[in-house]
Structure 1
């Protein structure tokens, strides 16, 4: 009899176990590939050059020459009182010892005119082993050095070694710090000893899947993975996965108070949370894919890699996390377990904020915009373009070596230009280079292996990062059009030009994509335009506030040229998320009540979860601040400030104030912009009045 009363398990009750087993299998398969992501990081300096630029063409033509792509290591031996016989013997011993590492014979050490320095030029090939070869140069030169002789490795190889040392083991450290920070925020949010584990597990699986897919595409499809990209992917995947998890958890907890069956509650929660979460993922991933229109190699590659991370987070949170929550049951929320019939929490802080905003909405949004404008005004004094001396947060050894050489040799000695021309034009181009102002020395031409091209190294009078050197290169390109000029100062010029191009192309594309998604989700025009405008305003405010910190707290002389675009992309795509979560919920609530009530109820219901999500995302990007790379520190600070500003000020104060001030017109031209007429008053109503 008891057996006959048992009901067969429903498809939904079995599905959760199937989903769990599926993700266990995927994770087991993904971990080995994900662990090999570092193997496909392309450390070559040439990989980040802009597509189609002269400096890129020089690198592309390099394999046609003996020795291939050049990335010499230049060892400086400096004694202020003048080099001694022991110093010369040391440099000569290094030359002989390093012959096996060099790609061609090493010339004897070159003495400076003042007799205080020696320079050893070790030709190396710019490939994936460059850092290892540079380390051998450094170790050999530092061994058995005479007392009082300062020895520094500089040149492209020295710079590559500095970067390699900076990134060594940093990805694992950042991941550990990120997990600890996210865990702390989740514990503060839910005050549950168990619940925090589920979003962390979801984010960890999404990161493993992302890393595995990126590795496979890099290994088999030629996807470019640059130094530092793994750190950005960690922050993006952990931040956005946790955000989506928090939103789903909030909806699920609401439905658990309405439905005795947790499977039913999860089904309703998924349906109601799907639209804003999917729209958010579409906004961020399509915004990132706009980088495919970029010229810079790093920007171009970050687009698909970032989109992979976002989509992985979406799929895991919308499948694995619901299965895990339903399997664990209600007790996972202990000690605050939601039960059917429980009344919602009492009016909280965000309800009080909403009612204060509603008292004088126009004054609030005007005052809010004035605050944003004041912060943004600090951005007017931004200096852009970090030189190599400030690439790392500490002074790199190669920069010290470069300064030493500049004191005793022509300024461009450590990083010469590479000039390539057709063989018939070689003598004319070489003569023009020698006669050009600003050129200190032109080395002997080197023919290509097929005899069709000629390459020469050109040393400038001025340091490579100086304005004078950049002016010289631009003049050389104008006066010698038959030459293709790359490396050193020429590469810096091409990178700056490409970044300017990317900003002009990518920023309008991102705004257009985000606007279209908001219009489709909200079925309105005014609301999306206002949301976009407030997010852009918060970006410029964050940029101004970040610049004040960089100048007066971090003592950075300039903003890295990549940070403005990267910061805008993450700020707009991610900043729109929270406004999207708020406004989509407001729209839902307005459909059930009048406009004012819907706005206040939407803010009150979403305020807590969006604030927690903002803290998580700000914290994950803020972790980039511990990196030794100045660009990463600046990007982390800018995005963290922007997310916090958008979460706690723009989204919670300015956007509700605009919605309340405009009234139903906020939803124009959608159906909510025309409120239904109130029913006619009855005699009893008049009597009560």
Structure 2
């Protein structure tokens, strides 16, 4: 007897049969990312072992201070980093104080990592203080050695009226490492917490924020693994600064890309598509802007390879690797998770099916739209020229603050906010000794010109003494001959001003002018020269890299939008937004927070991030505008693109601003300044430039923005999809 099944049952059975391979594929993708996270996650704690926070390690090989540093080891018998230990009493040092100092000297020489004899105690002229010079091996973990020296000092002076600090190059490097210590824990916790709160408010969903955060965390784990392997193989030079920026960049970028993908997926679900069709539609709609955005940011970061500073140059591939991982996670792990979850991802407030009610009339592009973005579109369409001219004038006023920007470096004692042991030690050192006693200026000169050069250096206004270095690394005194290596001698000059001050850097310039006039191949180094050469190189990088970044991004936009006019206008708005941001930042840093200046690399990093990330949002907007313009005409397409992308781009801007703002929890002046610049700049770009300036300018110009593409040359008749 023949039985007949209902057609619906057969289709359901076939549908279930077809979906299982997709489910298995989705599970497989999730498992691959779980494995990557399992391998990459534990490397967070290992990054410090391949990081170097010594400022000298990032100088270009062509810098004069680098050449001097390489020669110093030949004369001093080591390329160690000096720790200066300074101790003072309330009155003149007595026998008990001197006994404590002797105990410390003996304890310091027993500390693992101390490379050579401890010099001191050297009493001050006023008899109220003493100092030691403790050489630390360059291959040692400076943070650990300095911590042991501070512990030994505290034990030695216990029970006396003495107070002491560990300063010098090693002391500042250790304090900098301590300040970076919160990157793996506090920074990630604050950033992820801020993102989670924003996602809850945006989606009103319990499950979806976790899916997006997991995408960001997995992308970061993969990026950390790649960076660790590159640093361990000495392909890149990693420091705490790059590590912090990497974490924030990956979390922010991945979340932005995830927001765009989820928005497309939600639209597909709302139109009634099943999960398979919704993922395919979302992937097709999101892949071009996400890949284009990621490529723009990655290429902009890779432009840092043209930098002469090793620290800047390393951030290029580090950041680019992070962005690639962000794109891969957003286009693989997140789609797999959303496919497995389906509409459940939006629980308890799922997207409502819009159907025909979602259509907007092509006459204006606004009918059928509600809320904020309808009002914004109405303002743009009614008075576009007034809107964009007003925006430009407002940004131009903000640019006036650029006159207060002082980005020529800051004293080393101000790098760590809130004070540090090394900064306190430098202050104490300046009260009892020549301020530069622990950080001499080194001059490597031919033996035949040594006396003349020594006299020229001694004539400088901020130099107290100049001595030649003898065999054994000490000063050549009492008729002792200087050490001669390859026909050259090493001179050590003591500054009377703080070695990290602007006055000291000016003195380096004067010394170099004086000695080069005597012998051109003489080189001047030391910690002050390192700081000066770093600032000069950073300012040169700014002039070199900015044009390269602009040209590269402009070419990418032209290829993406198939236009010349639109990319040029977008780049102009982004550059104007950057200048306005730096103007506001300069006012805030100088008049509100009270910073004495800014690191010389801050404008360059701010430019790279703001231009690349600002173009991101314009890519999200303009790719959708181009898609809508091809169907309905340019002006309606602009309004439709604005209304469709308004919510997701604003959410993305808030997420990115919040993640970069999290950098301010690390008490490093550079990171605090960069966090404000990027957070404020992203909000300015999201709220003003992308929401008002770009749409109004495009609406005013009309289809000419697509020139020379056919979309910009042929009159368009709006047509309904």
Task: Please say whether Structure 1 and Structure 2 have the same fold, judged by a TM-score greater than 0.5.
Answer: yes
Q: 1:416 aligns with which of 423, 436, 440?
A: 440
Aligned counterparts of 2:273 and 2:426: Cα–Cα separation in 1: 71
Unaligned runs of 5+ in 2: 359-367, 474-482
Q: Measured at CA, do residues 374 and 31 of structure 1 come closer, stay the same or move farther in structure 2, by a change above 3 Å? A: same
Map Cα deviations across residues 23-59 of structure 1 (whole Å, 9 max, x no partner): 2333333334444222211233321223410112233
Aligned counterparts of 1:675 and 1:273: Cα–Cα separation in 2: 27
How do 1:328-367 residues align onto structure 2 when only pairs under 5 Å count? 328-338=341-351, 342=355, 343-344=357-358, 346-367=369-390
Map Cα deviations across residues 604-630 of structure 1 (whole Å, 9 max, x no partner): 000000000000000000001111101
Aligned counterparts of 1:42 and 1:592: Cα–Cα separation in 2: 54
In structure 1, the residue corresponding to 2:119 is in which secondary structure?
A: coil
Aligned counterparts of 1:450 and 1:330: Cα–Cα separation in 2: 78
Structure 2 counterpart of 1:470: 505
The answer to which of 72-81 and 224-233 deviates more is 72-81
User: 1:280 offset after TM fit, Å?
Assistant: 0.3
Aligned counterparts of 1:170 and 1:20: Cα–Cα separation in 2: 27
Structure 1 counterpart of 2:397: 374
Q: 1:155 aligns with which of 142, 150, 168?
A: 168
In structure 1, the residue corresponding to 2:86 is in which secondary structure?
A: strand
Structure 2 counterpart of 1:389: 413
Please tell me whether residue 597 in structure 1 is matched to residue 636 in structure 2: yes
Q: Measured at CA, do residues 4 and 267 of structure 1 come closer, stay the same or move farther in structure 2, by a change above 3 Å? A: closer
In structure 2, the residue corresponding to 1:553 is in which secondary structure?
A: helix
TM-score, normalised to structure 2, is: 0.89
How do 1:95-114 residues align onto structure 2 when only pairs under 5 Å count? 95-101=105-111, 102-114=114-126
Q: 1:55 aligns with which of 60, 65, 83?
A: 65
Please tell me whether residue 458 in structure 1 is matched to residue 502 in structure 2: no
Please tell me whether residue 635 in structure 1 is matched to residue 674 in structure 2: yes
Aligned counterparts of 2:524 and 2:195: Cα–Cα separation in 1: 48
Please tell me whether residue 530 in structure 1 is matched to residue 569 in structure 2: yes
How do 1:475-494 residues align onto structure 2 when only pairs under 5 Å count? 475-480=510-515, 481-494=520-533
Please tell me whether residue 500 in structure 1 is matched to residue 539 in structure 2: yes
Unaligned runs of 5+ in 1: 680-689
Aligned counterparts of 1:4 and 1:264: Cα–Cα separation in 2: 20
Q: 1:231 aligns with which of 213, 231, 244?
A: 244
Structure 1 counterpart of 2:597: 558
How do 1:548-587 residues align onto structure 2 when only pairs under 5 Å count? 548-587=587-626
Q: Measured at CA, do residues 468 and 260 of structure 1 come closer, stay the same or move farther in structure 2, by a change above 3 Å? A: closer
Structure 1 counterpart of 2:258: 245
Verify the 8 A CA contact 1:433 1:442 in the aligned structure 2. yes
How do 1:663-674 residues align onto structure 2 when only pairs under 5 Å count? 663-674=702-713
CA RMSD in angstroms comes to 2.3
Q: Measured at CA, do residues 471 and 57 of structure 1 come closer, stay the same or move farther in structure 2, by a change above 3 Å? A: same
Please tell me whether residue 646 in structure 1 is matched to residue 685 in structure 2: yes
Verify the 8 A CA contact 1:162 1:398 in the aligned structure 2. yes
User: 1:446 offset after TM fit, Å?
Assistant: 4.5
In structure 2, the residue corresponding to 1:228 is in which secondary structure?
A: helix
User: 1:430 offset after TM fit, Å?
Assistant: 4.6
Q: 2:18 aligns with which of 9, 13, 18?
A: 9
The answer to which of 298-307 and 98-107 deviates more is 98-107
Verify the 8 A CA contact 2:186 2:665 in the aligned structure 1. no
In structure 2, the residue corresponding to 1:442 is in which secondary structure?
A: strand
The answer to which of 495-504 and 48-57 deviates more is 48-57
In structure 1, the residue corresponding to 2:240 is in which secondary structure?
A: coil
User: 1:215 offset after TM fit, Å?
Assistant: 0.4
Structure 1 counterpart of 2:128: 116
How do 1:270-309 residues align onto structure 2 when only pairs under 5 Å count? 270-309=283-322
Figure out how many residues of one structure are paired with residues of the other and give that number. Answer: 679
Map Cα deviations across residues 413-432 of structure 1 (whole Å, 9 max, x no partner): 13112333456665665555
In structure 2, the residue corresponding to 1:260 is in which secondary structure?
A: coil
Verify the 8 A CA contact 1:50 1:494 in the aligned structure 2. no
Q: Measured at CA, do residues 142 and 456 of structure 1 come closer, stay the same or move farther in structure 2, by a change above 3 Å? A: farther
